[in-house]
Structure 1
Amino acid sequence: MPSNPYADLPAERSWRRAVVATPPFALDPTRPGDFRLSRTERIATAGSCFAQHVARVLRESGYTFYVAEPPRLAGSEAEDNFSARYGNIYTTRQLVQLFDRAFGAFTPRLTAWERPDGRFVDPFRPRMEPDGFASPEAVAAARDRHLAQVRTLFETLDTLVFTLGLTEGWRDRHDGAALPLAPGVVGGTWDPAEYGFVNAGVAEMVGDVTRFVDGLRGVNPRARVILTVSPVPLAMTYAERHVLVANAYSKAALRVVADEVAAARPDVFYFPSYEIVTAPTTVGRYFSENLRAVTPAGVAHVMRCFMAHAQEGDRAATAALDIRSEAMRTSQVICDEELLDA
């Protein structure tokens, strides 16, 4: 019998052995055996801008990155990294409402936003059509086609990797429709009587994600979900506090949400991309000069760990993560949030 309950614990549970004694480049806090991916299963991605890195590396490593709705133009940089043309899905409410809209359970009041140039955009994916649309009717027709493809995606994927990004967001005061960007940033008119700021709490977000998982399993019983938390800090906060404090709340809350949902639902897993990038051992090296964008080395470290656990011993997949080529592509990630502080 051990002298105390901690005496015989494995090295991964000791800060001294698992963190201090591990070279920074070798740090891997992923729990072994959590998930495996086959090269034939359909793997979809969604979430914040960091999710686009996952999509690209899956494709380049020979896995089946599932695209139900192709990009507007072939080879259109980061747009190739969306499984459907929904753009970034920053909040949990956006995620569950996308599912509900795709299956006819929710029809938002908002239909189109007008831009300063007179063109129109979809309020729920305002940057997915750079040229905009000629009329609100054209927006509606494109949205109907898009949601049909999203239905197909959810009904036929095998695994969804979803990156939790933000707790803060904007909603229509009339029906609670969650928006990826505040009105006035890309289209629409800012009116505080029409739109309200929301900083979601843990209970609300756990409810959103579990409802999404249950809905997904209702149309696709075999679907698995891998949750991760974006390490990218907030660009701006609308909360009345320092952005550093706001960011700490956001990431802590999202991390708790991921843990609670993974514990509450089978075949929902957590992958620690947030921990890898923000670990004290990196001494900030995985953030670029703006202290927000994750460096190519940071992305490569995250994806090296992800692929090593997705397919244990698959050296070909791990070797595909070339940091130099990653450096050429990091700037191609579409990150709507950066527009807030442009």
Structure 2
Amino acid sequence: MSTDAQSVTVRARSPYRGRPGRTFWKTSIAGRDVTDLQGMYTKKFEIDPSSSVATAGSCFAQHISRYLRAAGYNVMDAEPGPANVDPELLRDHGYGVYSARYGNIYFVRQLLQLAQEALSGTVREDIAWRRGDRWFDALRPAVEPEGFATAAQVERQRAEHVAAVRSVLTDSDVLVFTLGLTEGWEDIESGLVYPTAPGTIAGDYDPDRYRFHNFDVAEIVQDFTEFRTLVQSVNPGLKFLLTVSPVPLAATATDDNVLVATTYSKAVLRAAAGKLASEFDDIDYFPSYEIVTSHAPGNEPFDQTGRNVRPETVEKVMAYFLSEHVAGGRGGDAEASAAAAAPASVSDPVVAKAQSGDYVAVDERVFCEEAILEAFADED
């Protein structure tokens, strides 16, 4: 190559020339500890310490909710439990986990359905599922572990819940929502989507009534866009912070290996969240999924099950969040702030009760209905 040709090559312009270091793997990721990944998150909008923050989503969102409270954020609790009751007992019954007692909301369609119900003020009918002689709310079956004596009691308590959800949607300033799953079960006639398959906690699977549905990117984007429009019609200033749960599927209803099914689901959820954040100024995306699953040296985010996120990993995730959003104007080292904010109960094991009535230790550190599906792996 001639000297003149070399000179032209050196002076050639490239759209990648002069880009920030965070946009290159070599400078922002390679060889760095998971606590030192560069440019992982830059907030799109402020979350003021006095802002009313609502939380909802899949089981991983419980970690975020706990840390936000412990870090001094004004996290809403529109459905507090009875006074003078042991806090652990209240949590076992779904109180204080999220901003209302809706349990885990795994699907955006589920979130949209709940908003439609709450803002219309009309409680859905035919949502009582039976297990033995007890009745459960099919749309949040885990919040009453022992169920109710009658279907009428399910409907009465749901009416109270729907009123609480309405206040969450109308009075919050920011909604933090974690997308968890794409694989769900719906009522064939009504299209109603449930957080668990019928027959898992309560109810009974009838293939003539229920069907499996695996949501795609377009459906999720459309559902959240519809949810956003609906809620902002009564709360115009509401902003949204999306995350994607890094927790793998406990089981898949597809014929794929569960790892392959997990990869598909997380890719769909991440793509949908990215699409929404790129289209709307009031929707931000926080990369908890990327931080947990990064290939940083020494990063071992899960325990021996390969599903349960280690408490120290959650602490690292929240350090990145607090480095951008620190309640009360606190500054300093983000990881130290996250450690100080870590709730003592974040590493407590929990026990889930399967359909059979046998207790199955799942050690999720949060309650996750999906983990109950692991019990069915041992059946013939």
8-17 vs 260-269, which moves further: 260-269
Gaps of 5+ in 1: none
What does residue range 53-132 of structure 1 map to in structure 2 within 5 Å? 53-71=63-81, 73=85, 75=87, 76-77=90-91, 79=94, 80-104=96-120, 108-116=124-132, 118-132=133-147
- Mapped to 1, the partners of 2:75 and 2:227 lie a distance apart of 21
142-151 vs 17-26, which moves further: 17-26
Q: Which amino acid aligns with 2:102?
A: Y
TM-superposed deviation, 1:174: 1.2
The equivalent residue for 2:310 is 295
- Mapped to 2, the partners of 1:129 and 1:97 lie a distance apart of 21
SS in structure 2 at match of 1:213: helix
TM-superposed deviation, 1:108: 4.3
The equivalent residue for 2:169 is 154
Larger radius of gyration: 2
Aligned residues of 1:235 and 1:337 also touching (Cα < 8 A): yes
Residue deviations 1:221-251 (CA, integer Å, cap 9, x gap)? 1111000000001010001111111111100
The equivalent residue for 1:254 is 269
- Say whether 1:223 aligns with 2:256: no
The equivalent residue for 1:319 is 336
Distance 1:143 1:190, change over 3 A: same
Distance 1:324 1:147, change over 3 A: closer
The equivalent residue for 1:304 is 319
- Mapped to 2, the partners of 1:315 and 1:74 lie a distance apart of 35
Alignment RMSD (CA, Å): 2.1
Aligned residues of 1:90 and 1:164 also touching (Cα < 8 A): yes
The equivalent residue for 1:336 is 369
- Mapped to 2, the partners of 1:340 and 1:133 lie a distance apart of 23
The equivalent residue for 1:206 is 221
The equivalent residue for 2:206 is 191
The equivalent residue for 1:18 is 28
Aligned residues of 1:296 and 1:330 also touching (Cα < 8 A): no
Residue deviations 1:234-275 (CA, integer Å, cap 9, x gap)? 010001111111111100000011011112222100000000
Residue deviations 1:274-316 (CA, integer Å, cap 9, x gap)? 0000001155501111001110111001111111111386348
Residue deviations 1:59-115 (CA, integer Å, cap 9, x gap)? 111111111111465513474221100000001110100101112287645320111
- Mapped to 1, the partners of 2:346 and 2:15 lie a distance apart of 46
The equivalent residue for 2:49 is 39
Residue deviations 1:164-199 (CA, integer Å, cap 9, x gap)? 000000001110101000011111111111111000
Distance 1:317 1:44, change over 3 A: farther
Distance 1:237 1:253, change over 3 A: same
Aligned residues of 2:128 and 2:138 also touching (Cα < 8 A): yes
Q: Specify which of 240, 244, 251 is matched with residue 236 of structure 1.
A: 251
Aligned residues of 1:235 and 1:340 also touching (Cα < 8 A): yes
Q: Which amino acid aligns with 1:54?
A: I
SS in structure 2 at match of 1:280: coil
Aligned residues of 2:123 and 2:155 also touching (Cα < 8 A): no
Distance 1:143 1:24, change over 3 A: same
Q: Which amino acid aligns with 1:314?
A: G
The equivalent residue for 1:268 is 283
Distance 1:320 1:329, change over 3 A: farther
The equivalent residue for 2:189 is 174
* TM-score relative to the length of structure 2: 0.84
Q: Which amino acid aligns with 2:51?
A: E
Aligned residues of 2:320 and 2:334 also touching (Cα < 8 A): no
Q: Which amino acid aligns with 1:309?
A: E
Aligned residues of 2:57 and 2:177 also touching (Cα < 8 A): yes
256-265 vs 78-87, which moves further: 78-87
SS in structure 1 at match of 2:243: strand
SS in structure 2 at match of 1:81: coil
Alignment: residue pair count: 341
Distance 1:212 1:150, change over 3 A: same
* TM-score relative to the length of structure 1: 0.93
Aligned residues of 1:171 and 1:179 also touching (Cα < 8 A): yes
> % of aligned pairs identical?
40
Aligned residues of 1:89 and 1:95 also touching (Cα < 8 A): yes
- Mapped to 2, the partners of 1:106 and 1:245 lie a distance apart of 40
TM-superposed deviation, 1:38: 1.6
SS in structure 2 at match of 1:103: helix
